[in-house]
Amino acid sequence: ILNVEQSPQSLHVQEGDSTNFTCSFPSSNFYALHWYRWETAKSPEALFVMTLNGDEKKKGRISATLNTKEGYSYLYIKGSQPEDSATYLCASLYNNNDMRFGAGTRLTVKP
Amino acid sequence: ETGVTQSPTHLIKTRGQQVTLRCSSQSGHNTVSWYQQALGQGPQFIFQYYREEENGRGNFPPRFSGLQFPNYSSELNVNALELDDSALYLCASRSGINEQFFGPGTRLTVL
């Protein structure tokens, strides 16, 4: 299984901007895609778990989409706030129970 | 608080020594995974235990071993420590394909 790739590596936006980042993953034997939010000095916190091609999930101002055929997921944040500043990790779970994480996108929202 | 606890929080060892890290899973979770996070990288999958058996392993040598106990708590053991083993070690528990809940991590420093 090849690596999970996330882009960009880091992102700086102004408060109120909308933003999005990408997670690319090997689609062979794919089972589920997880998004996590990781704030400094805290443990990663789950945002979404998606399994079906075309899945779209939303939690407040944050939403995510999934394309299992081409192996990518987008995370969107609408109207970014300073409290959204964190590292956003995606992880893909495969049929052999192996879960692979990307390196994360570090988001900084300036007031 | 996720309900997943890890001990100790920090640990300093010297090269060649052995270390045991402990994790107590969230109640009802029968799958526990261990990850190593080196500085500037995403979590790297070490291995996973399901009902006391290892059922998935990442690209780590055999000197990384583990145990899961009937109460779903687990241990990560690392023998013959090397300088590159210095990292944050995270454990995470889940049930099925659902999101993982991470512990706060153990920061290991090898001198």
pLDDT at residue number A56: 96
pLDDT value of residue B2: 62
Residues of B in contact with A49 (CB under 8 A): 97-99
Q: Beta strands B53-57 and A62-67: pairing type? A: unpaired
Q: Tell me the mean pLDDT in the region A88-101.
A: 85
Residues from chain B that touch A46, judged by Cβ atoms under 8 A, are: 99-101
Q: Average pLDDT over chain A, rounded to whole? A: 92
**Cβ atoms < 10 Å from Cβ of B32:** 28
pLDDT at B45: 84
How many angstroms separate the CA of residue A50 from the nearest CA in chain B? 9
Owner of token pair 């956003």: A88
Cβ atoms of B70 and B82 within 8 Å: the answer is no
Which residues of chain A have a CB within 8 Å of the CB of B102? 36, 43-45
The shortest CB-CB distance from B97 to any of A51, A100, A102 is to A51
Share of chain A above pLDDT 90, in %: 77
Give the pLDDT score at A111: 93
What the block records as the tokens of A39 is 């704030």
Q: Is A93's pLDDT higher than 60?
A: yes
Strands of the B64-68 sheet, one edge to the other: B5-7, B19-24, B74-78, B64-68
The full DSSP string for A10-63 is EEEEETT--EEEEEE---TTEEEEEEEEE-TTS--EEEEEE-STT-EEEETTEE
pLDDT in the model for residue B56: 81
Residue A91 confidence (pLDDT):
92
Contact A98 B102 (CB under 8 A): no
pLDDT at A9 over 60: yes
Structure tokens at B61: 């040598």
- What residues of chain B lie within 8 A of the CB of A44, using their CB? 43, 90, 92, 100, 102
Mean pLDDT within A91-102:
83
Predicted local distance difference test score (pLDDT) of residue A42: 80
Task: Establish if B44 touches chain A: CB-CB under 8 angstroms.
Answer: yes
Question: Over 80: is that where the pLDDT of A101 sits?
Answer: yes
Beta strand A105-110 with A10-14 is parallel
Give the per-residue pLDDT at B96.
Answer: 76
For the stretch A14-46, pLDDT in tens is 999 999 999 999 998 899 999 999 887 788 899
pLDDT at position B1 is: 58
* Residue stretches of chain B with pLDDT short of 50: none
Cα–Cα dist B42/B15, whole Å = 24
The answer to whether the Cβ–Cβ distance between A43 and B43 falls below 8 Å is no
Distance from C-alpha of B95 to C-alpha of B98, rounded to nearest angstrom: 6
Distance between CA atoms of A50 and B62, rounded to whole angstroms? 33
For chain A, what is the total number of helices (H) and then of strands (E)?
0, 11
B89's tokens: 């070690």
Q: Cβ neighbours of residue B98 under 8 Å, at least 6 residues apart?
A: A49
* Average pLDDT, integer, range A46-70: 95
